[in-house]
Structure 1
Amino acid sequence: MSLLTVDLTNCDREPIHILGHIQSHGYLIAIQPDTYSIVHASENIVDLVNTPASQLVGQSVNALLANTDLAENVLVELLNVGKRNDSWETMNPHRFTLNGKVWNLIIHQHQELLLLEWEPTGDDRNAVMNQQLIAQALTEVQASRTLSDLLQNTAQRIKTIIGYDRVMVYRFSADWHGHVVAEAKDDHLEPFLGLHYPASDIPRQARELYKINLVRLIANVDSTPSPILSDPDWSEDQPLDLTHSVLRAVSPVHIEYLKNMGVQASMSISLLYRGELWGLISCHNTTPRFVDFQARQTAKFVSQLLSAALEFRKDEEDKTNLLQYTQIGQRLHEQLLLGDDVARALTKSSVTALDVTEATGAALLFNDKVYRLGETPDESALRSLAVWLGTTDIETFLQTNQLPARYSPAEHFREVGAGILAIALSKELNEYLIWFKPEQVQQVTWAGNPNKPVTVDNDGQQRLTPRKSFDAWTEIVRNTSESWNEAEIGSVVKLREDILQVITKQANEVRLLNQRLQVAYEELDAFSYTVSHDLRTPLSSIRCYSEIIQEEYGQEFNEDARELFQKITESTERMQRLIRHILYYSRMGRTDYSIQPIEMKPLLQNIREELLIANKDRSVRIDIGDTPSITGDPTMIHQVFSNLLSNSAKYTQRAPEAVIQVNGQQTDDEVVYSVVDNGIGFDMKHAGKMFDLFKRLENAREFEGTGVGLAIVKRIINRHQGKIWFHSEPNRGTTFTLSFPVTTH
């Protein structure tokens, strides 16, 4: 059977958080926090307390110390302190002298159980040295060094703290394969710096645990794990979850992997960037080696400093790039407004469309002509590419750094265009602005062949096994360019709005619609209005009749019937809201609007007051900055800001304090307002249909909504000859920016 027919996800499904064993260098019990009764105990606990685990499960925690030199109530008193303080982390580790030996006791609570774990203590003399290393690490992070130096020095510092033979900084790529970007090792070991490891080496569920448990120790791969015994009355369907355990046993597959590498002890420390896994500090030792809790915490603190430095450096880089692209975009906007030739403004002026990204080439297909900047495919290839773009689902933009994988003819021009970022100006007219990045041929050196070998077990089932050879295995990667970053995507989305505004102003009716399509649009618009309007009467009847039935016969209903009638009422309310939105959206095409100066401060204050009342049960702050007046229809402008601020309030529900900022500024030509929140945000790569009717982004589906509000906003902005654009990042909030001309005709 071919390797392709083997289930490559079997490693991803291994339940590594409920393996039912712990590593043998420590001991574990799990107790119920209300009764302190023992429901789970590691079989080796007898070595610690001289009482077999089978005699402990089902007993009070006092039984644990019955055969030791400690008073039975010592542990209960300690647990009572933690319970009163409602904190276990601040107690970890607790020094525990038992039968003449000192242990570290680590306690945590998970899934309504308290887990108590004992492991050996280390040399107290190392504590002073570790404090010095922390101070050095803090100084290192604050110094203006390169990222490469920072990673290398961190690897060396971790090696000093834990005393392992090898410490590597391992960075994940977008497809989750890893790359060793820094290394500190003993001189006799061969270097792993620069090697790549496939994503299957660290399966998905392991990566999720790395985000929860930042430090993971495997003290001896040859030790025999100790099984966990459970109270006979405990349900077999509820195995002990060891997600947060410091002693959790190791997957047999991973043990086999480490042995194949010649590693006897392993330790990993997570590196996070904005809450997601950026990489790992991976530590290997050729002999068994235990690292005590305090040393692991010191290493963890150093890694957290590095994580903070990564985030700070990336944020600064993003701000710099965004500012640069914004300034260039403003210049292009000015050029577009000053002239009547879109192509000339984008390709023949002092600043061109090529300058708005880090691309090496750009092409404008407009008015049946092709304009080329920098290094691009030839005109014939560009026209064919535009035809292909018309067959894709591109609405606003399309980006890829592996174009030949999606469009095979691109292999012929990969030297100049292995990656593209394209914005659609008019799919109907085959008009696009496309940026190109060249192929970056990479020689990737893997630590062994990345394809896992297939073996057949006794049952005849095929399984993937860890590879046994880690000799360098080289692969040439082609057809791939440098990736497009968020700042580049945001800048071209804004540029598209600028271009479309000018195009619409110059020849809206002639370019986009002929008379027949316009009539069809108006008829469809009137039809949707009529249908929506006519739906309101039967819907009101449904609600009215259901309420009458509840009033007349409600006493005779059981609980299920009352719930069903309540759901009918709630469903009709949701349907009525949706119909109101559709009616408003449909009416926008026909309703006359009154143009007049609008004082924005009282309008925004009124919206703020309504939102604060509606969200009185949570912490919401709405800051209103400068409020220059806008020329427009008061009702429509109120609808725009009410929709945007309501969305901000809705999508900040997860934040401890929702912060929404509204600010305006006026230039000679336009008034610009921004609405900024600290909500869930979204990935700009998936925002192409933001203003489409009934379209909602994937991460917004858990929040109630109709998918009509932003479509209404966009339509109102268009009627006012304005523009709206946005910038967002997942879990980093969203900024909507609106511009209105100073005078509207």
Structure 2
Amino acid sequence: MIPESFDLTNCDREPIHILGHIQSHGYLIAIQPDTYSIVHASENISDLVGIPAAGLLGQPIDTLLTATDLPANSLIELLNVTRRNESWESLNPHRMTVNGKSWNLIMHQHQHLVLLEWEPVGDDRNTLINQQLISQALTEVQSSRTLAELLQNTARRVKTIIGFDRVMVYQFNEDWHGRVVAEEKDEHLEPFLGLHYPASDIPRQARELYTINLVRLIADVSSVPSPILSAPDWPVDKPLDLTHSVLRAVSPVHIQYLKNMGVQASMSISLLYRGKLWGLISCHNSTPHFSDFTARQAAKFVSQLLSAALEFRKDKEDQTNLLQYQQTGQQLHEQLLISDDVVRALTKLPVTALDVTDATGAALVFNNKVYRLGQTPDEKAIRALTDWMGTATTESFLETNRLPALYPPAEEFRAVGAGLLAIVLSRELNEYLLWFKPEQVQQVTWAGNPDKPVTVDDDGMRRLSPRTSFAAWTEIVRNTSSPWTEAEISVVVKLREDILQIVTRQANEIRLLNQRLQLAYDELDAFSYTVSHDLRTPLSSIRCYAEILLEEYGEDFTPDAQALFQKVIDSTERMRRLIRHILYYSRMGRTELDTQTINMKQLLEGIREEILVTEKDRSLRIEIGDTPPIVADPTMALQLFTNLLSNAAKYTQLAHEGIVRVKGHQTDGEVIYSVEDNGIGFDMKQAGKMFDLFKRLENARNFEGSGVGLAIVKRIVNRHQGKIWFHSEPNQGTVFHVSFPVTPAD
């Protein structure tokens, strides 16, 4: 193995989007859209237009046009129309004749420059053939009975379209190493099906580009790339960004990698699942091979069909599993309500805690006893594990399919517990509910030893170089279980709320948690006093002085100085709001409840009106369904639903049309409301941070917020002896559920 001290990430830092060259089979210029003057040109452009690149730089595009047989205004008119309509993709490729030869012109705009790239045109006879192949591909996607059959059909169809020697479907794992899951190849080639490739073979920045540019062609590995020249006055520190270029040159590291494999041409087509990189259709050829833009687009369309089919199949499977787990979770909830005995409801009745996931073992640590179901570690090991959890994590649940990597003693019981999903019932009392999955020993066959050799540069820097051998190399992977699904996590999060509701009801006066809460309340009182008296007064002074300076002397300030003063004023306003939220949070635990029957239709319509006024500059729809009344404190209910609906509206800002749906229904013992949106969603594996004070999820950091709103919501729900749970998926929206007892809370 390579020591950790070696530089294993130099590939990840290579700036592959600004390599400064293009592949030699095409030509490139970059122009400024306001003047149409040429600021970058590939050195080989003279082969196309007969003028050296240096003679074009700094000149208007007319200089290029007059050197060819193009009508002088045709390209300019095309650029004008395309820029006005912002429809670059709709016109790509644009067929044009330059000096008697046909070329495909591909255009795009990026970072305030318009890039024009010329590529050779393929055989027109293939266009009709490709259309027929696409039609056949659509039929195959609909008729494929299994995922393996679907992937294999796609590989065969793409190979027919582009004519490469080998076409593979390559699926990424969670740690970004990949495996060949389908392959179509010429008979004389050795099979790669089933082989694994390490994550370092496709470094991070390459994976990021694959989500932007879905098709990547390397026509001739051995060709000499053409450098990109820049106008004399162009800043040296602003090289041309080729992120969206179809001719972008290839990293020298990747060139050597392909040569080591005996590959002279390659092509990659991205496979996406919910906007994330799921895998690649990877194509290899033993000789240089060029597929024109039209053929590549046909192959891309087939890959998009596959991506859509993957998403449909996965969504259907996930929904089926989620429904099954939810039904089991509901049975457990009913058992908890009927028996009022947590241990009996979870471990002694026909449906147990083991049934809400695909785990093979479960353990309840409660009231200083351990109750085991199925195949689990022994009691001593479970107690040691929960002791470690009490100090190792602050979140309300933990999930991993590689427990020994986090907790080395788990290697002793990996046969039954290599994977762990755990919820915290009481950290102070060391009470947990745990689920275990056994180790799945895997024999992984790599395409060569995945540990790349280390080389030492002239400057003494130790770096990785591409593997030179791709002979099959087998490794036994241990200490890993099958992963936990989003459906399993979602149901477990809900079950935790169900259990805590019962536990709180049973031990409201005697549990150690109340003592700690009282101490927290006392500390919060002191904190509230500090906030209100020591922070609010100087904050008001800062805002007042800044406004006076801006009003009295603003005309004498530079624009930058005026902007800085405005930032001071805006920052004090944000801090004022945060202080107000903190004060509300601290007081809420001690405010007496004034429970009343609340007209929810009137309350929700008022909240909707306020939100739509503040969000009037975008398309937002808030739909209100059934609105059964609830029994709650009116002020707290208003605060709760305002927070939930405002959050839902805020996180739909990236959607073409934001949609928020709120509705309620009543059961025998509770009223349940749901608030659903089509916003950015989040990974359920981050659910443990949801209600923590000042904690915000990673994908929400670009949205304004204090991290207090949901903590307030959680406190209000607890005060009313209710529950709150949620389900979400990245880019698929979020749904929150809150329940209120029909009988008023004491």
Task: Give the alignment's TM-score, normalised by structure 2.
Answer: 0.96
Question: Whole-Å Cα distance in 1 between the matches of residues 208 and 517 of structure 2?
Answer: 53
Sort the Cα spacing of 1:251 and 1:665 in 2 relative to 1 into closer, same or farther, 3 A.
same
8 Å Cα contact 2:452-2:467 kept in structure 1 = yes
Sort the Cα spacing of 1:377 and 1:248 in 2 relative to 1 into closer, same or farther, 3 A.
same
Q: Superposed, which structure 2 residues align to 1:257-406 within 5 Å?
A: 257-406=257-406
Aligned to 1:146: 146
8 Å Cα contact 1:141-1:309 kept in structure 2 = yes
Partner SS state of residue 39, structure 2: strand
2:202 counterpart of 1:202: yes
Q: Superposed, which structure 2 residues align to 1:536-615 within 5 Å?
A: 536-544=536-544, 546-547=546-547, 562-563=562-563, 565-615=565-615
Sort the Cα spacing of 1:438 and 1:142 in 2 relative to 1 into closer, same or farther, 3 A.
same
Aligned to 2:130: 130
Q: Which moved more, 1:272-281 or 1:530-539?
A: 530-539
Aligned to 1:438: 438
Sort the Cα spacing of 1:98 and 1:533 in 2 relative to 1 into closer, same or farther, 3 A.
closer
| 1:483 shift after superposition | 0.6
Aligned-partner residue type, residue 444 of structure 1: V
Aligned to 2:472: 472
Sort the Cα spacing of 1:53 and 1:523 in 2 relative to 1 into closer, same or farther, 3 A.
closer
8 Å Cα contact 1:376-1:417 kept in structure 2 = yes
| 1:692 shift after superposition | 2.1
Aligned-partner residue type, residue 524 of structure 1: E
| 1:58 shift after superposition | 2.0
Aligned to 1:450: 450
Instruction: List per-residue Cα deviations over 1:692-724 (Å, max 9, x = no partner).
Output: 222222332332222222121111111111001
Q: Which moved more, 1:22-31 or 1:699-708?
A: 699-708
Aligned to 1:624: 624
8 Å Cα contact 1:604-1:641 kept in structure 2 = yes
Question: Whole-Å Cα distance in 1 between the matches of residues 40 and 657 of structure 2?
Answer: 40
Sort the Cα spacing of 1:272 and 1:560 in 2 relative to 1 into closer, same or farther, 3 A.
closer
Partner SS state of residue 435, structure 1: strand
Aligned-partner residue type, residue 410 of structure 2: A
Question: Whole-Å Cα distance in 1 between the matches of residues 32 and 569 of structure 2?
Answer: 43
Instruction: List per-residue Cα deviations over 1:153-173 (Å, max 9, x = no partner).
Output: 000000000111100000011
Aligned to 1:21: 21
2:245 counterpart of 1:230: no
Aligned to 1:528: 527
Q: Superposed, which structure 2 residues align to 1:596-675 within 5 Å?
A: 596-675=596-675
Aligned-partner residue type, residue 66 of structure 2: A
Sort the Cα spacing of 1:583 and 1:41 in 2 relative to 1 into closer, same or farther, 3 A.
closer
Question: Whole-Å Cα distance in 2 between the matches of residues 724 and 117 of structure 1?
Answer: 55
| 1:404 shift after superposition | 0.8
Sort the Cα spacing of 1:2 and 1:611 in 2 relative to 1 into closer, same or farther, 3 A.
closer
Aligned to 2:55: 55
8 Å Cα contact 2:144-2:150 kept in structure 1 = no
Question: Whole-Å Cα distance in 1 between the matches of residues 529 and 458 of structure 2?
Answer: 69
Question: Whole-Å Cα distance in 1 between the matches of residues 528 and 271 of structure 2?
Answer: 54
Question: Whole-Å Cα distance in 2 between the matches of residues 538 and 74 of structure 1?
Answer: 65
Sort the Cα spacing of 1:501 and 1:56 in 2 relative to 1 into closer, same or farther, 3 A.
same
Aligned length: 744
Q: Which moved more, 1:71-80 or 1:194-203?
A: 71-80
Question: Whole-Å Cα distance in 2 between the matches of residues 69 and 614 of structure 1?
Answer: 57
8 Å Cα contact 2:521-2:586 kept in structure 1 = no
Q: Which moved more, 1:585-594 or 1:251-260?
A: 585-594
8 Å Cα contact 1:655-1:679 kept in structure 2 = yes
Aligned-partner residue type, residue 179 of structure 1: R
Question: Whole-Å Cα distance in 1 between the matches of residues 194 and 466 of structure 2?
Answer: 21
Q: Could you tell me the percent identity over the aligned residues?
A: 74
2:410 counterpart of 1:410: yes
Question: Whole-Å Cα distance in 2 between the matches of residues 88 and 574 of structure 1?
Answer: 41
8 Å Cα contact 1:107-1:115 kept in structure 2 = yes
8 Å Cα contact 1:3-1:454 kept in structure 2 = no
| 1:555 shift after superposition | 6.0
| 1:232 shift after superposition | 1.7
Question: Whole-Å Cα distance in 1 between the matches of residues 225 and 493 of structure 2?
Answer: 56
| 1:560 shift after superposition | 5.8
| 1:321 shift after superposition | 1.3
Instruction: List per-residue Cα deviations over 1:313-337 (Å, max 9, x = no partner).
Output: 1111111111111111110000000
8 Å Cα contact 1:525-1:589 kept in structure 2 = no
Question: Whole-Å Cα distance in 2 between the matches of residues 144 and 69 of structure 1?
Answer: 50
Q: Superposed, which structure 2 residues align to 1:205-216 within 5 Å?
A: 205-216=205-216
Q: Superposed, which structure 2 residues align to 1:471-510 within 5 Å?
A: 471-510=471-510
Question: Whole-Å Cα distance in 2 between the matches of residues 550 and 98 of structure 1?
Answer: 60
Sort the Cα spacing of 1:113 and 1:525 in 2 relative to 1 into closer, same or farther, 3 A.
closer
Task: Give the alignment's TM-score, normalised by structure 1.
Answer: 0.96
2:743 counterpart of 1:743: yes
Aligned to 2:695: 695
Partner SS state of residue 76, structure 1: helix
| 1:295 shift after superposition | 0.6
Aligned to 1:181: 181
Question: Whole-Å Cα distance in 1 between the matches of residues 537 and 103 of structure 2?
Answer: 75
8 Å Cα contact 1:721-1:744 kept in structure 2 = no
Sort the Cα spacing of 1:568 and 1:71 in 2 relative to 1 into closer, same or farther, 3 A.
closer
Aligned-partner residue type, residue 137 of structure 1: A
Sort the Cα spacing of 1:247 and 1:519 in 2 relative to 1 into closer, same or farther, 3 A.
closer
Name stretches of at least 5 consecutive residues in structure 1 with no aligned partner: none
8 Å Cα contact 2:22-2:42 kept in structure 1 = yes
8 Å Cα contact 1:674-1:735 kept in structure 2 = yes
| 1:579 shift after superposition | 2.5
| 1:582 shift after superposition | 2.2
RMSD (CA atoms): 2.0
Question: Whole-Å Cα distance in 2 between the matches of residues 705 and 76 of structure 1?
Answer: 46
Aligned-partner residue type, residue 382 of structure 2: L
Aligned-partner residue type, residue 5 of structure 2: T
Question: Whole-Å Cα distance in 1 between the matches of residues 192 and 409 of structure 2?
Answer: 38
| 1:552 shift after superposition | 5.7
Aligned to 2:190: 190
Aligned-partner residue type, residue 229 of structure 1: L
Partner SS state of residue 597, structure 1: strand
Q: Which moved more, 1:441-450 or 1:404-413?
A: 404-413
Sort the Cα spacing of 1:557 and 1:34 in 2 relative to 1 into closer, same or farther, 3 A.
closer
Q: Which moved more, 1:116-125 or 1:396-405?
A: 116-125
8 Å Cα contact 2:36-2:60 kept in structure 1 = yes
| 1:310 shift after superposition | 0.9
Question: Whole-Å Cα distance in 2 between the matches of residues 541 and 48 of structure 1?
Answer: 68
Partner SS state of residue 739, structure 2: strand
Aligned to 2:240: 240
8 Å Cα contact 1:105-1:118 kept in structure 2 = yes
Instruction: List per-residue Cα deviations over 1:364-395 (Å, max 9, x = no partner).
Output: 11111111111111111111111111112143
Sort the Cα spacing of 1:575 and 1:111 in 2 relative to 1 into closer, same or farther, 3 A.
closer
Name stretches of at least 5 consecutive residues in structure 2 with no aligned partner: none
Question: Whole-Å Cα distance in 2 between the matches of residues 566 and 94 of structure 1?
Answer: 48
Aligned to 2:718: 718
Aligned to 1:253: 253
| 1:240 shift after superposition | 1.4
Question: Whole-Å Cα distance in 2 between the matches of residues 415 and 274 of structure 1?
Answer: 34
8 Å Cα contact 1:62-1:75 kept in structure 2 = no
Instruction: List per-residue Cα deviations over 1:436-465 (Å, max 9, x = no partner).
Output: 000000000000011111223344433211
| 1:546 shift after superposition | 4.9
2:44 counterpart of 1:30: no
Partner SS state of residue 469, structure 1: coil
